[in-house]
Amino acid sequence: MKSSVLLLLVAFFSVNGVRAQPAALPKDGVAYSVGGTLTIKSASGETVRVIKTTPPIGSFAISPDGKSVVFAPLGPEHNGGPLYLLSLATGEAKRLIHVPVYTKREVYADPDFSPDGDEVIFAIHAQPRGDAVMSAGPFAILNLRTGIVRELPSTINIDGYGAAYGASPRWSPGGGKLFLNLESDFALTTPSGEHLQDTSDWTAGEGDTFAVDWLGSGCILYIGGKDWKSAEEQPAKVLQLSTHQTESLDKVLGLAPAQVTNLIAFSPAIRVRKVGGNLVVETNSGSWSVADADEHPNVRVFSTWTDAQVPAICR
C-alpha cells in the first residue's frame, strides 16, 4: 500500500489472488476501540470487522453511510493527535488538516460526523499532553468536501475565561443542534457555533455532568454526580430541551435503574455500559460483553430506529 502514514492490517481478504470487498456494515451494531484496535460487531455480537492501524485508533466516528471512519490516534497520556479518514472499502487513509487551526502544537480528538456525512466536528487541544488548563482548546468543524476548517466562535473564549477543555461533541439526529461536553458540564450550540447555551441551570444540584448521546432531537442523555466517579455510578438521566425538565432514563424507558447505570453509549435499540473492566452490550434480543476494555473506552453505537421508539417528549 502506498501510504506510509497508515497501514490497514485487517479489513479485507483475498480469494484466488483477487482482493474481495469487505462485507457491508450491519444496520445495527457496536464499534469499539480497545488497545488501538477497532472492532465492529453486529447487535447480536457477531464480529464483522477487526481493524488495526498505524497509528492505533483512539477516538473515532463511523460515517452515516458506513463507508468510512474518521479517527484520532490512541496514545498514553495523550490528548489526541492528527485526524485521519479511513475508507472501509479500500483500507486507504488520508490525513486531514495540515495547517494549524488554533496553536502550533494542537491535537484533535473525539470526532463526530454530521447526519449528512459532509462535515466532522471535533475537539481541539492546545497541546498533546497536559492538564485541562494547559491543553484547553475550542471545537471546530471540518468540511470533508472542501477541506475548510472553522472554529466554533462561542467556544474560543467562554465567559471570558478562554477555551474550555472540550470533549465528545455530538450532532443531533436532525443536524440542527450540537451538544458539547466542557470541563465539568455540557452546553448546546448550532453548527454556526455563534452562541453557546449553558445547561448547568437545568441540571442544578447535580455537580459534574457529562452528556452521553441524543434521544431523538428533543432530549439529551447525561450522567451527573458530585464528581465523575459518582456520576458514572448513577442511572443516566434525560434532559428535555423544550421544558428543561430532567427525569431518570430508567423511568422514561421503563427499565431497571441498573440497566442505565455506567452508560457510555446509547441508541433506542442498543445500550453499552462499562461494568468493572468489561463492556456490556444490551439489546432488545439479548446481551453480550467485551472483556478487558480500556479504562476510558471509545465506543459508538449505530442502529436504525423509528420515531415510535423515541418517547413522545423527545421527538
| DSSP per-residue codes, the chain | ---SS----SS--EETTEEPPPPPPPSSEEEEEETTEEEEEETTS-EEEEE--SSPEEEEEE-TTSSEEEEEE--TT---B-EEEEETTT--EEEE--S-SS-TT-EEEEEEE-TTSSEEEEEEESSSSS-TTTT-B-EEEEETTT--EEE-GGGTSSTTS---B-EEEEE-TTSS-EEEE-SSSEEEE-TT----EE-TTTTTTSBEEEEEEEETTTEEEEEEESSHHHHHTSBPEEEETTT--EEEHHHHHT--GGGGBTEEEE-SSEEEEEETTEEEEEETTEEEEESS--SS-EEEEE----GGGS-GGG-
Q: What is the CATH number of the domain that holds 287?
A: 2.120.10.30
**223 within some domain:** yes
**8 within some domain:** no
**117 within some domain:** yes
**In this structure, are residues 263 and 275 in contact, taking their beta carbons and an 8 Å threshold?**
no
Q: Determine the structural domain holding residue 228 and report its residue range.
A: 14-314
**5 within some domain:** no
**2 within some domain:** no
**252 within some domain:** yes
**4 within some domain:** no
Per-residue pLDDT of the chain (315 residues; tens, 9 = 90+): 333 333 333 443 333 333 445 667 888 999 999 999 999 999 999 999 999 998 899 999 999 999 999 999 987 768 999 999 999 988 888 999 999 999 999 999 999 999 999 999 999 999 999 888 899 999 999 999 999 999 999 999 998 889 989 999 999 999 999 999 998 899 999 999 999 999 999 997 788 999 999 999 999 999 998 777 788 888 999 999 999 999 999 999 899 999 999 999 999 889 999 998 899 999 877 899 999 888 888 999 988 777 788 888 898
Show the cell assigned to 113. Answer: 460526523
- Look at the chain and report how many structural domains it folds into: 1
Cα–Cα dist 241/199, whole Å? 10
Tell me, what's the pLDDT at 269?
A: 87
Tell me, what's the pLDDT at 23?
A: 60
For residue 170, list its beta bridge partners. 179
Tell me, what's the pLDDT at 3?
A: 38
**6 within some domain:** no
pTM of the complete model: 0.91
Show the cell assigned to 109. Answer: 480528538
Is beta strand 246-248 parallel, antiparallel or unpaired with respect to 47-51? Answer: unpaired
Show the cell assigned to 218. Answer: 428533543
The number of beta carbons lying within 10 Å of the beta carbon of residue 144 is 17
> What does each C-alpha distance from 297 to 136, 148, 278 come to in angstroms?
21, 30, 10
